[in-house]
Amino acid sequence: MSSTLQERVNALSPARLLGMRRGIEKESLRAQPDGRLALTPHPAVLGSALTHPHITTDFSESQVELITSAHTGVEACLEELSRIHQFTYKALEANDERLWVSSMPCGLPADETIPIGRYGSSNVGRAKSVYRMGLAYRYGRRMQTISGIHYNWSLPGVDNEQYFGLIRNFRRNAFLLLYLFGASPSLCSTFVAGREHELQPLGEGSMYMPHATSLRMGRLGYQSDAQSSLAVSYNSLEGYGASLEDALTHPWPAYEAIGIQGPGGEYNQLATTLLQIENEFYGTIRPKRTIYTGERPLHALRERGVEYVEVRLMDLDPFEPMGINARTMRFLDVFLLHCLLSDSPDDTPAEIAELALGRHLTAARGREPGLKLPRGGREVALVDWGAEILAECVPIAAALDALHGGGLHAQAVRAAQDALNAPDSLPSARVLQAMASGHGNSFTSFVRAQSESTREHFARLPWAEHEQAHFEQMTQDSIEAQRKIEESETVPFEVYREQYVSAERLGLRQRDAAVSV
């Protein structure tokens, strides 16, 4: 560890470290007992997907998203996530559904029959659905059914320049998270039906790559030929904003061919630009800022700066009831502090290309013995590069443990160091081992069993009447909030859409509470 990095660790005040906040957004498909996608609407007992603060949907009606508040403690964050899970599972009992515990989807029907999320008749609700229709036209619905965990993280006193330094270092070191925590080395063959791929057959209806860590984050996952043309700069908020603005305001020929509306007047997409809205931009990490009503996320960032970062590459861990555990979260806290405190030179187009290749190699072949990744124009062994990063994380973990008491952060780093040299112990390897040992190498059989076990886990947990009443009240409040939004509409949807996607809106200032597209 460099003396400069050590000095930066020592300079962090206890108040700042204790002010570290994290929150979780967890996506999961609703599945039937036989492992097929549930095609039922978002359960009404879960409230309005438009306005509920903790339970919504992502791309599909069948894709539940559970959202915690921001917490200064890891355990408090997990406790809230557990309660949200308990209420959700109780709501799914009526249709005998369960949450699919793998990032790669369950058995999927024909692409056009995967239901797109619906959010009511308000302009903002219709815009959310039209945006998802645009995703379906642009990338296909199957790709959008992939699920994951987003880890939202902030530290007091961090400015825009420092957050972007963190982001650059995160992108440089993200291969390590894919290696340590990737848990999607296999998938159901329905996901790749009719698509070109390099997967190998494995068991009934299953495909895999022998040394893969995260197919979700590889070439079969969130990929786009159009977006690959984007040259996004992470060297400053200004450069990042200019890159996104360009993609949000310039038409893309293939999307112009789709058109805004079909011949019957139905909406196909929000815009014909390379990105319909900011959230369409795929990335392993994003700078984020809470937005006001009607405000574009990019405008919020430019006006008020980065508030937190959203880590987007974490797979669901099928061996953990909530998809993530406290040790992993503590490691992420240490890792993100390392990214923040380390020197972070500006990125270059050559480095960005190297990082993309390294990410794809790790996703597809991360556990391959002797795998090397490109680094600064040469090749370096993944395990050697990872060992360098982890060695520098040790004093950061020690500083956090000195503040919190105990040794949980150091344990998290030691576990990562042990796993680095024991690829058979990684979640991606354990998935394949479990598939082979008890499920005839069937992805669906394995995840069905894990999903059922997870459902039973939450059913066994104590659940107080006041907790049920609290969540039922949130359901009713969200339904009422959606009704008020719908009743307050004053402009036709087309006017709303044109205003929202206009270049001028990227500079519009609003001051009310937020519901984002």
Q: What pLDDT, on a 0 to 100 scale, did the predictor assign at position 512? A: 39
Per-residue pLDDT, averaged over 252-274, amounts to: 95
Nearest Cα residue to 175 out of 358, 332, 337: 358
Q: What is the pLDDT of residues 124-139, one digit of tens each?
A: 999 999 999 999 999 9
Per-residue pLDDT, averaged over 20-38, amounts to: 97
**Is the pLDDT reported for residue 62 higher than 80?**
yes
Token pair recorded at residue 13: 């005040």
Q: Look up the CATH number of the domain holding residue 117.
A: 3.30.590.20
Work out whether the CA dihedral 364, 366, 368, 373 comes out positive or negative: positive
Per-residue pLDDT, averaged over 426-433, amounts to: 98
- Between strands 200-201 and 372-375, the pairing is unpaired
Residue 257 falls within a domain, yes or no? no
Contact between 369 and 376 under an 8 Å Cβ cutoff? The reply is no
Q: What is the pLDDT of residues 67-115, one digit of tens each?
A: 999 999 999 999 999 999 999 999 999 999 999 999 999 999 999 999 9
Measured CA to CA, the distance from residue 290 to residue 360 in angstroms comes to: 31
Question: In whole angstroms, how far apart are CA 470 and each of 54, 322, 414, 467, 477?
Answer: 12, 21, 40, 5, 11
Token pair recorded at residue 421: 């040299």
State the DSSP code for 93: G
**Is the pLDDT reported for residue 511 higher than 60?**
no
| Residue type (1 letter), 497 | R
Q: What pLDDT, on a 0 to 100 scale, did the predictor assign at position 223? A: 65
Contact between 463 and 472 under an 8 Å Cβ cutoff? The reply is no
Q: Which residues contact 447 (CB under 8 A, 6 or more apart)?
A: 35, 100, 101, 102, 106, 318
Q: What pLDDT, on a 0 to 100 scale, did the predictor assign at position 515? A: 45
3-state helix, strand, coil in the chain (%, to 5): 50, 15, 35
Lowest mean pLDDT among 35-39, 272-276, 360-364, 500-504: 500-504
| This prediction's pTM | 0.96
Look at residue 379 and give its three-state secondary structure.
strand
Contact between 277 and 131 under an 8 Å Cβ cutoff? The reply is yes
| Residue type (1 letter), 229 | S
| Domains contained in the chain, number | 1
Summary mean pLDDT of the chain: 94
Q: What pLDDT, on a 0 to 100 scale, did the predictor assign at position 379? A: 97
Q: For the chain, state the CA radius of gyration.
A: 22
Q: What pLDDT, on a 0 to 100 scale, did the predictor assign at position 507? A: 60
Nearest Cα residue to 285 out of 348, 343, 350, 336: 336
Q: What pLDDT, on a 0 to 100 scale, did the predictor assign at position 517? A: 55
| Percent over 90 (pLDDT), the chain | 89
**Is the pLDDT reported for residue 279 higher than 70?**
yes
Per-residue pLDDT, averaged over 391-403, amounts to: 96
| Residue type (1 letter), 310 | E
Measured CA to CA, the distance from residue 320 to residue 62 in angstroms comes to: 21
Q: What pLDDT, on a 0 to 100 scale, did the predictor assign at position 221? A: 74
Nearest Cα residue to 412 out of 163, 182, 181, 184: 181
Choice between 9 and 52, residue whose per-residue pLDDT is larger: 52
Chain centre to alpha carbon of residue 371: 26
CB atoms inside a 10 Å sphere around CB 233: 20
Residue 3 falls within a domain, yes or no? no
Measured CA to CA, the distance from residue 17 to residue 158 in angstroms comes to: 12
Domain that holds residue 362: 18-222+278-370+423-502
**Is the pLDDT reported for residue 41 higher than 50?**
yes
Q: What pLDDT, on a 0 to 100 scale, did the predictor assign at position 204? A: 86
Q: What is the pLDDT of residues 166-186, one digit of tens each?
A: 999 999 999 999 999 999 999
Residue 385 falls within a domain, yes or no? no
